[in-house]
Structure 1
Amino acid sequence: MATSKDCFQTVHTMHKEALLAHRKQKSEDTSTLLGGQLPNKVVHDNNYIPLMTTGPDVSEKQMQEKPQSFQHAILIALPEDRHQPKPVIVVGPAGVGRTTALEKLIVDWATGKHLQHFSCVFHFTFRDLNAHKGVLSLQALLLQCYSHLCPESLALVLQNPKSLLFLFDGLDQYQHSLEPPTSLTLCSDPQQPASVSMLVASLVHGPLLKGAAILLTSRPTAASLESLDGYRVELLGFLKPQRKAYCERFFSDPIVASQAFENIERTMGFYDFCTSPRFCWTTCSIYKSLMEAGEILPETLTQVFVYITVHLIRALSLDTTNARDLVTSLGRMASHCCLGPDSNCSKEEMASTDVQQFLTTPTSLKDFLHVDGDLESDNCIFSFHTQKIQEFFLAASFYLDESEAVSVEEMLENHEGCVEFLDLYLAGLCEPSQRKPLESELGEFNTDHIMDFSSWFKSTSRKALESYHTDRHLHYFHLLHQRQNEKLVKEIIIPSARGISYGVLGVHDCVSLSYIVTCMGEWDQLNLYSSKDLTEEKANLLVPAIRLSHKIILVQSSLSAGALAHLASALSQGRTTELDMSYNPMGDTGFKVLCTGLGDCNIQTLKLPVCGLTEACCGDLVAVLTSEKSHLRVLELRGNPFHDQGLRKLSHALGSPHCKLQELQLPRCELTGGSMEALSIALCVGQSELRILNLAQNCLTDQGVDWLAKALQYPCCQLQSLILFDNELTAACCAGVAEALQSEGCRLTELDLSVNALGQEGALQLCKALNKPGHPLEKLRLVRCELTPLVFKELGILLSSGTSGLRTLSVGLNKIGDEGAKHLWVALGDKRCSLEHLDVEMIQLTDACVGDLSVAVRASGSLKSLVLKNNHLTDTSVPALVQVMQDSRTMQEMNLQYNDFSEDMFEMMDQCAKIKY
């Protein structure tokens, strides 16, 4: 006598066999070019390529680096020891392969490959469930759908709900809500009659067969998704590796497969819809036809649909007039579907388009359109297979229309908000080479409409590119890329279009931008500011643009290691002379990758502030600086913690005969005086070409500056600008600096000692040193150095001595007041004073100084700018200051910001454009 376990096993085996047999019967080939292959056919013929998935809240970078197959994602979501009762929700756009993936899941279960911890798998489509009226129990529904099961065997299966898997496909087509009416109680008994909507809701929410696994698929547009709580799996479809595998399986010849794949990726791989297996089927099918006929493969999306349309029309054997009328009719239908709420046509509406006059057989009709329902039924619904072909027929029909009733502008306005590719197709079809195959079947396009589009395109594109809206720029780059007309690109792209930031780029944007730059032949500035998640794929697509750009801005951007590798490669082969990667968290590892291209490139200016670099990367940096092929002149490394050991390594590079560095920026690099000896030696060995050195905001102390002062005295030291801002210095360092300034070898033209406690003693030593006739110093900054009125007196004497070459003096944030500043006003009035820029911010000036100040400005023959901000000037001073600025021929700007002015004075100051307040 058979045991319960034996009976259960018999039912289990029978159910699997029945599922496989049913699918084998339905695997006949009814594929169409646009509609794709039937899911059963794909799986049965072993042509299934695993779809890629990802979870929610995953960045594009993570999605590319760690995608997983659909089967793997489902095994994780439905483990044998699962505890969570929530449904698994598989979401993906139309054509991405949701139904085929479910078919593969069912066949894998039935053949013993996966999910064997489930005793039975039940599959439903929401479209079929919509047809069920009245009430019935779940048990009755299962017996109705699975006729190989008898009540006794089904009852046995339902005894263990945790071993059951229910698959529901197409939630977006469901006509009911998954949320049950609040007035009704959910069903919990498999034998309890209820509406189908109640049965589904009860299964999804748990009371019915509690513990059973539920998996639903849906397009992302389904309204029920918002309120449905569950484990979500996002279907990505075919990424590049899957598309490659698909081509290799579709084409028997590996060489042909490779040619097709490379063309598809170059022409369309950047469009989102290329992840659709259905579209891959359509594309490979038309490519196979073209390659067998020896035709040239497409270079744009428009050309792909031109060839698809030509293929479909030739199969009908229509003459030119009828073929033209067919496409015109399809265009009318396309417009109706675009503008209608459901994107389809009823049988009655179809009659008004005249489409069925030409598509007289069910086969021909289904080649062009998707038919939902029985063709003989009045309830039959017609739609296009995809939005892409729908909009293509709309674009083509515009050019075929012999009337002039609607302009291109009116057409686009009429369909605004309900089309995505229309202007793209219009752009492509405007080019003679792209529309030629279609014209051979339909006759010539309307010349007036072509000219109308060309005129509209030129005017709107120029207007868009004159704006600072990145999205508008990129949109017209897409259209220009679709047209494939290099002459037109050069005619339309203007210089103002080149400086805007293109920081947030999609894959399509990268392709189009590179196309534009390639057509132009060179690009002044490629601004990719704040490019987050710049993936390896995007960087690879931008390589042509990078190679041809003289300046590249990647400030506050984030690049993957793969992206950095492509950047490095492009730099080594390109024209770039300046690269700004400020605030890029590449770290030592990323910088090492970048260095592979820096040693042999045209980069002259490299900006890397706050990039997470440490002493560990200095070896790579030294290799770049000492390369015989290096052209590097300016290096910005602010805010990277190199510490002394890192600077010692860099100092060795500065002494190399191959190092051409002329400017080195090292503020806030956590340096101390301990590394200044090595730096000093490098500066005076005779090989260093360094002219500008910025060591601001490092704890150098007096001892460290003493080493630099010694270097300045050597004739071999080329330094002209030395920034020692906020280096914790005191008066003790000033004797050494003064000695250096007085030496014959000193070449300094700029010295910044601001925010150091030099005091009166130290500053007076500097003043004395600068009294030497012919000294080259032109810029001196002593902001917040605890200066006194006596120091200002000596500065005044120095400026009016006739021996000083000072052009810029900054002495703000020293508590001097009107009396101390008076010495500077006197000096300014002296004809021997050559000062051009004076900054006296926040030195406690009042209205009392304005008289002397005005006399000095009027008398000065050299002063161009005066900074008076953050003082105590009031409304009383404004008339005199405005008058003196209006009278002066040399003064270009007076900065009066943050004084004690009332709003009543703003109008008066506005009278003089040279005043900033």
Structure 2
Amino acid sequence: MVSSMCGDSLVRSTSTHYRGFEEDPSNNLCSSVYLTEDWMLQKFLETHKKNMKKKAERIFECKKENEVHLKAVYTELFITEGDMKDVYQEREILKIDDAFKKKQTQDKPINCNKLFTLLRENNEKKIVLTKGIAGVGKTVSVHKFILDWAEGKANQDIHCVFLLPFREINGIKDREVNLHEFLLEFYDELKDLEKSKLYTEYKFAFIFDGLDESRMPLKFESEALKMIDKRSSVDVLFTSLVKGKLLPSALVWVTSRPAAANQIPPEYVGLFTEVRGFTDQQKEEYFRKRIKDETQASRIISHIKTSRSLYIMCHIPVFCWITATVLQNILIKNSEESISTTLTEMYIHFLLIQMKMKSQKYDEQAERQRTKLLNLNKEIILKLAKLAFELLKQENIVFYEEDLKACGIDVCKDTEFTGMIAEIFKMEDGLHETKVYCFVHLSVQEFLSAVHVFICYLNKNMQELQFFFDKPEENITLQELLQKAVDKAMKSKRGHLDLFLRFLMGISLKSSQNLVKGLITHIEDTTESIMKASKYIKQIQNRNISDEALVNLFYCLLELKDHSLYEEIQSYLSSDEHPGRDLSSSMCTLLTSVLLMSEKVLDEFNPKRFTSPSNYKRLIPAVRCCRKALFDRCGFDETCCETVSSALQSSNSNLTELDLTSSRLQDSGVTLIYDGLKSPHCQVNILRLCGCHLTAQSCERLSSALQSSNSVLRELDLSNNDLQDSGVKLLSDGLKSPNSKMEILRFSICNLTAQSCGSLSSVLKSSNSVLRELDLSNNDLQDSGVTLLSEGLKSPNCQLKILR
């Protein structure tokens, strides 16, 4: 905006840096021209949006040369609202393996573009905190948000979006800066706007990505920074933004792995969300996008479904990439109809494929040169494995060039020959030309760590193995190492060694050693040690340990190819008779896990067959794996209804009969079940809620369910509940709906009077009613009630055959 006239409308720059001409003293006109602040701000906003678009629109799947446009490969991720109380001491491996426990069908998905809209609707706080395990798609969601904003498709009320990865912030964490100086480290286009009204009149959104990678001490109890031009440490600047003290109008979005999310006190979080990766439908969409050959894509999808464990892990986008890489090379190229599906062997194949890919590029060279390259690959892999283990011990996933050098890797020299490094870890440009590295996925780091530890055992490098022992040991046996590794993993509150332990078990097998014989000096017969390790794990499983640790130990047995416990559990499920002994708490947990993992559908499931009342609740997730669930007199309460509702909404739900008699569900529980009953996937046609402490409020929900076009409910038992006449009147509205399929209805002992008979009489007269059996016994209906009911019985529309 430029004006040649003097007056109040002339807006001049507050900075002399933008002065174009001096005033001409020979006339009254102001011939001086200023590049006004508004003009400068407009130019900045245009430049910034273009830069942010470039930053967000390109992504790469582990290799820089494979960089593609976000839109070409983006698959919508499942994001849902979470609960801050869940962020404390979470075991990340459980988040991977217990994906089947997620309430994906119950929770409403949240579009990443709607995060700040939901925040403003629900809370005065300005902070969104998003958690998600490594590789699940947090950063991709951030890029999608930024790209849609930069292209003018969403969040246009926000003037500036700043992406601030913690791994880059680490480079300036020891400096004192003000807000402008801090942002200037990341965005050069801000250099001329220090004193502008940008910070007072424009709306900002700060996206701090990867809190788990932060190396700053976050002390929220420290005094907050309030002035934008005042300098402070970077951690104080960050906590001040989160508290809303610095730039109160700004919006803040922080992403983090689960274990680090609790660094943000809940009182500052207005919206807490979780990225859960891909749903089953999204997994298939990803594979079909990535693999253009439809036949190949279908074969790969079909193959991974044969292993429930692998299919579950494919809710992590990066694991989908690893799986596709392995199966395209083995299943497709070699025309193998079946391959082993343990995690360890999948990752060994992944590693071998990367080494082979690089050597194939040099086929035209002499055999000696190819051998040299293979030896170099081996050397680099061993060094990376050592680095991975060092990082695992530190509970760190980010590293720098000096970390590589400490492990003997010269980045400039070695990566020139070893392109497969780019497949195993990725490099990003940080501040001041700093290179920031991390493995393509946390599981790759844990796999390489296990490779390193096992090689140290084979080479009798006892110093490296002291991590697992309280006191220095000599001549450590494999049995001792595996047992100590189990103990070490069990002590971890958040389970950072769980997946490493599984890989260590798997790599110890002789069959695994044969696969990686190019990396190891010799192959050792570990049969006896493996047997003793299996026995040790089974002994531990009988102790009082967490469900998370228990499930991981079960998977460790599967990696050891010990299926005895799996087969024992299957015997309980396959027998029609009582098993003969009650299952322990741990076995109940494993039984449920096996059911969910195998997707086996039981004709009938009754917890009372398997265990004592104290363990019934451990078995309720199995409701999604049976056609008939007899949970009567199991002592369930409304907290169990969440799991039941999720099962009813599952796309592969098989449940047709559900008995919750004598449970303390209350109206709140029925409200949760109602969400499942109205689902198009629900197949329940028999529901028994006798003696569940219900009132008329439950009838309102059930009536609404009957009116749903998805309703398939044909039999409902509400006996022995305090429904009263008001409840029956509410339910009658649903019974008269053309969508109602209700044929059998029981109201015994429900505190009903003649008024209820009037309501039910109107149902019998309705042309939509298909009611064939009605139980009103043990209620104070009196003669007047019978008279009212008889009017309905005379109706030509009445289909009632049995009346009690």
Q: TM-score range by the shorter chain?
A: 0.5 to 0.7
The C-alpha deviation readout for 1:183-211, integer Å capped at 9, x for no partner, is x7735244x55554554455444454442
**Aligned-partner residue type, residue 328 of structure 2:** K
The C-alpha deviation readout for 1:710-762, integer Å capped at 9, x for no partner, is xxxxxxxxxxxxxxxxxxxxxxxxxxxxxxxxxxxxxxxxxxxxxxxxxxxxx
Give 1:105's match in structure 2, choosing from 129, 145, 169.
145
Whole-Å Cα distance in 1 between the matches of residues 42 and 749 of structure 2? 72
Post-superposition shift, 1:461?
A: 2.0
Post-superposition shift, 1:350?
A: 6.1
Which secondary structure does the structure 2 equivalent of 1:131 belong to? helix
Once the two structures are overlaid, the 10-residue window that deviates more, 200-209 or 459-468, is 459-468
Matched, 1:212 2:253: no
Task: Using structure 2 for the length normalisation, give the TM-score.
Answer: 0.60
Matched, 1:47 2:85: no
Contact between 1:52 and 1:235, CA under 8 Å: does it hold in 2?
A: yes
2:187 paired residue number: 146
Task: Using structure 1 for the length normalisation, give the TM-score.
Answer: 0.53
Whole-Å Cα distance in 2 between the matches of residues 108 and 8 of structure 1? 25
Matched, 1:391 2:457: no
2:583 paired residue number: 499
Whole-Å Cα distance in 1 between the matches of residues 546 and 239 of structure 2? 47
Give 1:338's match in structure 2, choosing from 378, 386, 392.
392
Whole-Å Cα distance in 2 between the matches of residues 199 and 472 of structure 1? 39
Post-superposition shift, 1:114?
A: 1.3
Contact between 1:55 and 1:233, CA under 8 Å: does it hold in 2?
A: yes
Matched, 1:233 2:311: no
Change in 2 beyond 3 A, CA 1:237/1:9: farther
Change in 2 beyond 3 A, CA 1:61/1:276: closer
Which secondary structure does the structure 1 equivalent of 2:414 belong to? coil
What is the percentage of aligned positions where both structures have the same residue? 20
Which secondary structure does the structure 2 equivalent of 1:2 belong to? coil
Whole-Å Cα distance in 2 between the matches of residues 518 and 668 of structure 1? 38
Post-superposition shift, 1:457?
A: 0.6
**Aligned-partner residue type, residue 408 of structure 1:** Q
Whole-Å Cα distance in 2 between the matches of residues 422 and 385 of structure 1? 16
The C-alpha deviation readout for 1:831-882, integer Å capped at 9, x for no partner, is xxxxxxxxxxxxxxxxxxxxxxxxxxxxxxxxxxxxxxxxxxxxxxxxxxxx
2:555 paired residue number: 478
**Aligned-partner residue type, residue 610 of structure 1:** C
Which secondary structure does the structure 2 equivalent of 1:68 belong to? coil
**Aligned-partner residue type, residue 512 of structure 1:** V
The C-alpha deviation readout for 1:744-782, integer Å capped at 9, x for no partner, is xxxxxxxxxxxxxxxxxxxxxxxxxxxxxxxxxxxxxxx
The C-alpha deviation readout for 1:1-33, integer Å capped at 9, x for no partner, is 637899747744653444434653897776427
The C-alpha deviation readout for 1:661-711, integer Å capped at 9, x for no partner, is xxxx999666999x9xxxxxxxxxxxxxxxxxxx9999999xxxxxxxxxx
**Aligned-partner residue type, residue 451 of structure 1:** E
Matched, 1:457 2:543: no
Matched, 1:167 2:207: yes
Change in 2 beyond 3 A, CA 1:422/1:449: farther
The C-alpha deviation readout for 1:606-654, integer Å capped at 9, x for no partner, is 996538599999xx9xxxxxxxxxxx9xx999745699999xxxxxxxx
Listed as ranges, the matches of 1:453-602 within 5 Å are 453-458=530-535, 460-461=537-538, 464=541, 474-482=551-559, 489-490=566-567, 499-500=583-584, 510-513=592-595, 525-526=609-610, 530-531=616-617, 539-540=623-624, 542-543=625-626, 555-556=635-636, 557-558=640-641, 559-561=643-645, 563-564=647-648, 582-583=662-663, 585=665
Contact between 2:77 and 2:278, CA under 8 Å: does it hold in 1?
A: no
**Aligned-partner residue type, residue 70 of structure 1:** C
Which secondary structure does the structure 2 equivalent of 1:107 belong to? helix
Whole-Å Cα distance in 2 between the matches of residues 553 and 280 of structure 1? 43
The C-alpha deviation readout for 1:120-168, integer Å capped at 9, x for no partner, is 33333333334346555434444554333452x6654516445233333
Contact between 1:372 and 1:380, CA under 8 Å: does it hold in 2?
A: yes
Contact between 2:308 and 2:598, CA under 8 Å: does it hold in 1?
A: no
Matched, 1:252 2:332: no
Which secondary structure does the structure 2 equivalent of 1:225 belong to? coil
Change in 2 beyond 3 A, CA 1:566/1:497: farther
**Aligned-partner residue type, residue 226 of structure 1:** P
1:438 paired residue number: 515
Post-superposition shift, 1:72?
A: 1.7
Give 1:282's match in structure 2, choosing from 304, 315, 322.
322
Contact between 2:134 and 2:442, CA under 8 Å: does it hold in 1?
A: no
Change in 2 beyond 3 A, CA 1:501/1:595: farther
Change in 2 beyond 3 A, CA 1:143/1:260: same
2:110 paired residue number: 68
Post-superposition shift, 1:255?
A: 4.6
Whole-Å Cα distance in 2 between the matches of residues 85 and 517 of structure 1? 42
User: What number of residue pairs does the alignment pair up?
Assistant: 622
**Aligned-partner residue type, residue 235 of structure 1:** E
Matched, 1:303 2:345: yes
2:484 paired residue number: 413
Contact between 1:126 and 1:168, CA under 8 Å: does it hold in 2?
A: yes
Whole-Å Cα distance in 1 between the matches of residues 618 and 400 of structure 2? 46
Whole-Å Cα distance in 2 between the matches of residues 259 and 73 of structure 1? 37
Post-superposition shift, 1:52?
A: 1.3
Post-superposition shift, 1:117?
A: 1.3
The C-alpha deviation readout for 1:313-334, integer Å capped at 9, x for no partner, is 3235486988777766655544
Whole-Å Cα distance in 2 between the matches of residues 26 and 642 of structure 1? 57
**Aligned-partner residue type, residue 663 of structure 2:** Y
Higher relative contact order (CA 8 A, sep 6+): 2
Whole-Å Cα distance in 1 between the matches of residues 114 and 239 of structure 2? 27
Post-superposition shift, 1:69?
A: 1.9
Which secondary structure does the structure 2 equivalent of 1:360 belong to? helix
Give 2:129's match in structure 1, choosing from 75, 89, 97.
89
Post-superposition shift, 1:110?
A: 1.7
Whole-Å Cα distance in 1 between the matches of residues 339 and 283 of structure 2? 17
1:312 paired residue number: 354
Change in 2 beyond 3 A, CA 1:446/1:254: same
1:425 paired residue number: 503
**Aligned-partner residue type, residue 499 of structure 2:** F
Which secondary structure does the structure 2 equivalent of 1:95 belong to? coil
Once the two structures are overlaid, the 10-residue window that deviates more, 95-104 or 270-279, is 270-279
Once the two structures are overlaid, the 10-residue window that deviates more, 512-521 or 408-417, is 512-521
Whole-Å Cα distance in 1 between the matches of residues 103 and 179 of structure 2? 44
Listed as ranges, the matches of 1:1-80 within 5 Å are 2=2, 8=38, 11-12=41-42, 14-21=44-51, 24=54, 31-32=61-62, 41=68, 43=70, 45=72, 47=74, 49-50=76-77, 52-56=79-83, 61=103, 64-77=106-119
Whole-Å Cα distance in 1 between the matches of residues 779 and 618 of structure 2? 31
Superposed CA RMSD: 5.9
Matched, 1:368 2:424: yes
Change in 2 beyond 3 A, CA 1:431/1:228: same
The C-alpha deviation readout for 1:511-545, integer Å capped at 9, x for no partner, is 5245689799999935595548967xx644x34xx
The C-alpha deviation readout for 1:63-120, integer Å capped at 9, x for no partner, is 74312122222332257xx993633333333323333322322222221111211223
Matched, 1:188 2:265: no
Contact between 1:177 and 1:224, CA under 8 Å: does it hold in 2?
A: no
Q: Computing the radius of gyration over CA atoms, which structure comes out larger, 1 or 2?
A: 1
Listed as ranges, the matches of 1:704-723 within 5 Å are none
Whole-Å Cα distance in 2 between the matches of residues 29 and 568 of structure 1? 34
2:23 paired residue number: none
Contact between 2:180 and 2:194, CA under 8 Å: does it hold in 1?
A: yes
The C-alpha deviation readout for 1:425-474, integer Å capped at 9, x for no partner, is 355556777x4882575589845323311232145426745999977764
Change in 2 beyond 3 A, CA 1:101/1:498: same
1:448 paired residue number: 525
In structure 2, list runs of 5 or more residues that go unmatched.
Answer: 4-9, 12-35, 87-101, 360-369, 461-474, 573-578, 704-714, 729-745, 757-775, 783-804
Matched, 1:243 2:283: yes
